[in-house]
Structure 1
């Protein structure tokens, strides 16, 4: 160990908090025993920032919840391992790379992220960690600052080399295994269909073990936790297929906590899907569509519905959000439209949100206060009061042409 005490490292603390750990319980237990609760919290917070930086600079890592959380798990475990190594002055080796990083690396292989982008992400991550540690050391007295800056820089760059070496080795081995597997062949067919590329329906059906010349209902099963076994997701996908009256279910593991699935229907008629979504899982369902094009269309609809899962929403059908999904696709322009149309009625407080929802339901109910009251489970007088208050925030009475107002109210439902 360095002659200079590592009190600066033991004094590391999270600044804001609010982020639950992503690493495995075993990794967190070892870290807390080695460096303590404070530095462990600092590592969790720092890993969030590092993950965002890696994805910002290397978009190929992918956006969305699952890719972000998978990478954060890997980064967090790596930061914790680095802190332990720095505290104990351990010389780096490829074996020090945590299993979370190795598992995350395998996921990048299956998603087709190139090795050069993986290694660039490793370099960016280590540069970010070096920056944060130098910021902490900068506040120390001159003797500690000089000695520790040199020692930490030397060790961190050695860690980066060891990390990159292990990741490259594991990447190549996993890529060879993946490319030789049946799952990879099925995934290539699925990727071709979803990418809009031409495929032979008969050959695709043989490879997938699933008839593509049928009516398809696609859905996505997502787990709240990254540690949920894939078999749990697949079993629930099979249950959904049975509930939909489907003939067979095709599943593809899209990530550690996501399964894409399709079930084939013998006719275009879809019965009401009555399904209870278990605690810890979420379900997004696409529209029913036919053939190879329908296989893609239904899946993309399920992915759109997936964007509206969260909080208490455990089941989302594309039919329920297709207008909101279309409007949300406008991004910044959609927000501008809502701001210009709704004005003060776009306020972020709960009371204003209730006014917007009452107005939306009132207009959808043909301007009937009684029907709106029944739908909202409030009194007719409450509806009338809220409509009057909404008009005050709009700055004018409700227009005769309601198209823009109703569109703006739907856009508002998609905004954070």
Structure 2
């Protein structure tokens, strides 16, 4: 007798023995986790039989309990694991029964997609799904082989069961992986879109639903908010994204709060931190932690929706001011006046020239007098302290102060705020050509 004839005789035998194994599948009687509610299960009953479907549900419940016991803190709910198990076990039984079950397969795929969406929504990685499927493979093979051996089927049938389960598991795993990637991309795109729309509404000052903020941004709008803008320094104008992200991580660690990126551009990164407590940022400490490649502008600490908008606008203004002064870190709260005044460069230049007169000229004598004036202010208007810091005699400092008042046209203390503001703007407006008084 030829090999083809033998093979044709073996195929009906394999099918008969597999049918016997499937018919012998019965649940152990304990209450299943999911029940027999899904369309896939009802459809499976017409092909596999009610007992086989009930057994599949029972195995899925055991699988879920085992997976949850091994990872009690896992993000995947027991019910979701059980439904995944149902899908897999019913697919395996359909493959073993050699059924061309298009309707059932489509329904099971739909159930799988629904569960995948739920897993992605809670942040469960695909490794958890794959781990569940591998455990299911182990459990199903052991259960089926146990029933098959008890029915004294042939070695060929035992091999066919093992191979069929492995093939069905691989097919389900590959299909789920593909769907997981597709759904994750769709979910990420939809989440990003919703996040951008919500942030745009906040920045526009439009009313927002605080529950939507909590769900989409995962923060309370009533929290304290602090925004910051990171960009390349003058030495590194085309800083790469990795450097921007490293700086954002350093700021997050320094502030001890979660960082949320709002916008990520080729040469800048715009983000904010949110917490139920105040988040002070020391300029010198932050500057030491971010490196020389980047510059940072901080908005002030604010709360609620209006504060969210305000701190973002302040951070943007602080970043512009920082680039003009080459300061590594600018905290809007500490530099409010010069930041505001420097928003309009032309008017800022008029203001500086009006307040400082010849001191705004770029020549050695003007620079010397400006340094003296700044030191005098830093010394809290104490001439002796200023002279010591300048390493000049006290009388020299007095003569310089007299010269300053002559140029200003009034005592230094008469327009104190205006003169100090003009000095802070002097470095960023661009000096006029060299003029010797």
Rg bigger for which structure?
2
